[in-house]
């Protein structure tokens, strides 16, 4: 089986789309009908969070693997959900909203289709695996109706700890930011994980995350979360990047397994990204640090640390799962008709990750303009 865009076309996420008329209808009927494009583990997990809300009901699923749709339907307690192998058919099925959780390289196509279909959209990050895909997202975002909500799964943006940190930085609680860092150091079982045998012609379809062409490499598929926080708190995308990276333990696919990238922002602030996918089991440091003239702020998904001096510092624990925050806020925006469109800023954060990847590949500093020439 030749692997191409049509091969992957059905691996998408749940449609969650509403026009103003549909919103009013959903309010009257006390239900938002939703579809899922991409019934893999992440899509099913996020869909299950949607399904906990008493105003959401999944009526359509899309994937190229029927057994995946069956497992997802069971998890969502939606045995009557219609099954589709083509995302375009799902978008025509009458759902109010869509959740897109397809392989990364398909996000531009699926997002554009959902926008043109007039749906409200919750799309998993990142926005694409390459420059051309991200630029397609930016063009598609301009075609969206002002009534459409388009939320991307950069869920840090919706976490209470991150929102409080952003407010503190905006109020100059630690003075002027002079340096920043994002860490994503966590073991993924490289060299130890066993993959279930699959027919050779389906290998990259099933294990797409191991291949740069389909995932964008792990700096794009995973580390874009931290890069998005850097962009958010530093006020925009970087001007340039340089970095190094390589493979030490990875033996499957063509992705890297460790990297160091330094970004330079328009303010002159430099921000470092350090990431690995190997290390002792259980060791995990996923955080962002912002060093100012009067203090330091460190953000994590489970905590917020603000340091002024030894006598003046606070550590606030965050209990709630930030994906739950993001999903709940998306549902409320749909119900209350308070749309947002985050596609462009999300594409810029994805492009910032791609900028780092290109700098690693070229082994010298690369500017934003030079990266765009990759399209």
**The domain that contains 266 carries what CATH number?**
3.30.360.10
Structural domain includes residue 9: no
Nearest CA to 227 out of 345, 329, 317, 342 is that of: 345
Q: Is the entire prediction scored with pTM above 0.95? A: no
Q: What is the pLDDT of residue 29?
A: 52
Structure token digits, residue 176 = 């002027």
Q: Are residues 365 and 248 both part of a single domain?
A: yes
Domain boundary among 65, 100, 124: 124
Give the separation between CA 263 and CA 367, rounded to whole angstroms: 10
Q: 31 pLDDT band (50/70/90 cuts)?
A: confident
The CATH number given to whatever domain includes residue 79 is 3.40.50.720
Q: 161 pLDDT band (50/70/90 cuts)?
A: very high
Q: Are residues 275 and 179 both part of a single domain?
A: yes
Structural domain includes residue 338: no
For 248-273, write each residue's pLDDT tens digit.
Answer: 999 999 999 999 999 999 999 999 99
Q: Which domain holds residue 197?
A: 157-320+352-372
Q: Are residues 307 and 361 both part of a single domain?
A: yes
The answer on pLDDT for 221 being more than 80 is yes
Structural domain includes residue 326: no
The answer on pLDDT for 116 being more than 50 is yes
CA 159, chain centre distance (Å): 14
Q: Are residues 109 and 201 both part of a single domain?
A: no
Structural domain includes residue 45: yes
For 346-356, write each residue's pLDDT tens digit.
Answer: 999 999 999 99
Q: What is the pLDDT of residue 188?
A: 82
Q: 195 pLDDT band (50/70/90 cuts)?
A: confident
Give the separation between CA 154 and CA 284, rounded to whole angstroms: 19
The answer on pLDDT for 27 being more than 50 is no
Average pLDDT in the chain? 92
For 297-314, write each residue's pLDDT tens digit.
Answer: 999 999 999 999 999 999
Q: Are residues 202 and 253 both part of a single domain?
A: yes
Structural domain includes residue 144: no
Q: How many domains does the chain have?
A: 2
Q: What 8-state DSSP symbol labels residue 35? A: E
Mean pLDDT of 122-151: 98
Structural domain includes residue 330: no
The answer on pLDDT for 23 being more than 90 is no
């Amino acid at each position: 089986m030749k692997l191409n865009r049509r091969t992957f076309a059905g691996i998408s996420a749940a449609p969650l789309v509403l026009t103003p008329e549909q919103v009013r209808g959903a309010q009257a009927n006390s239900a938002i009908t939703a579809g899922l494009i991409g019934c893999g583990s992440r899509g099913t997990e996020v869909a299950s969070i949607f399904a906990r809300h008493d105003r959401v009901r999944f009526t359509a699923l899309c994937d190229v693997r029927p057994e995946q749709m069956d497992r997802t339907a069971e998890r969502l307690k939606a045995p009557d959900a219609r099954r589709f192998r083509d995302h375009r058919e799902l978008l025509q099925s009458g759902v109010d909203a869509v959740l897109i959780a397809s392989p990364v390289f398909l996000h531009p196509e699926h997002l554009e289709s959902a926008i043109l279909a007039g749906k409200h959209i919750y799309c998993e990050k990142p926005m694409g695996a390459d420059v051309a895909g991200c630029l397609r997202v930016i063009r598609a975002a301009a075609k969206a109706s002002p009534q459409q909500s388009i939320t991307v799964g950069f869920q840090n943006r919706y976490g209470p700890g991150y929102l409080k940190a952003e407010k503190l930085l905006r109020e100059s609680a630690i003075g002027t930011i002079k340096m920043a860092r994002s860490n994503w150091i966590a073991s993924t079982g490289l060299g130890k994980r066993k993959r279930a045998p699959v027919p050779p012609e389906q290998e990259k379809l099933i294990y797409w995350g191991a291949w740069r062409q389909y995932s964008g490499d792990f700096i794009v598929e995973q580390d874009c979360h931290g890069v998005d926080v850097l962009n958010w708190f530093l006020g925009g995308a970087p001007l340039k990047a340089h970095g190094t990276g390589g493979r030490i333990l990875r033996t499957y696919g063509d992705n890297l397994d460790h990297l160091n990238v330094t970004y330079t922002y328009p303010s002159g602030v430099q921000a470092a990204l350090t990431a690995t996918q190997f290390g002792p089991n259980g060791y995990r440091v996923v955080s962002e640090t912002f060093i100012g003239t009067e203090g330091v702020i460190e953000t994590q998904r489970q905590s917020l640390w603000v340091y002024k001096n030894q006598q003046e510092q606070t550590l606030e624990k965050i209990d709630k799962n930030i994906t739950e925050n993001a999903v709940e806020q998306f549902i409320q925006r749909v119900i209350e008709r308070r749309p947002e469109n985050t596609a462009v800023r999300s594409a810029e954060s994805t492009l910032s990750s791609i900028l780092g990847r290109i700098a690693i590949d070229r082994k010298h500093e690369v500017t934003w303009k030079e990266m765009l020439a990759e399209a």
